Amino acid sequence: MEKRNLRKDRIGIVTSNKMEKSIVVAEVKRVKHPMYGKFVLKTKKYVAHDDKNDCNIGDTVKIMETRPLSKSKCWRLVEIIERAK
């Protein structure tokens, strides 16, 4: 049995599903400003592969790192944690 490398996973909210079999997931982090101490929101966007096109805007999803699938896509959808209301 071969050993697989440790893969990163992220939890975020779907911001776009207009592409075929692709979604854009935004991960929002609260980080403390080093000098002023105020908490600032940092947003990072990932393009992920959605094989069945079943995600909608506003869904909370879990994505996992994978091999490059296209120029900008190197993440894939693992599960939909919560559907948008």
Q: End-to-end distance of the chain based on CA atoms, in angstroms?
A: 43
The DSSP code for 14 is E
| pLDDT, tens digit (0-9, with 9 covering 90-100), for 5-38 | 889 999 999 999 999 999 999 999 999 999 999 9
Structure confidence by residue, pLDDT tens digits, 39-58:
999 999 999 999 999 999 99
Q: Which residues contact 74 (CB under 8 A, 6 or more apart)?
A: 65, 66, 67, 68
CATH of 9-82, one of 2.40.50.140, 1.10.420.10, 3.40.50.460, 3.40.50.1370: 2.40.50.140
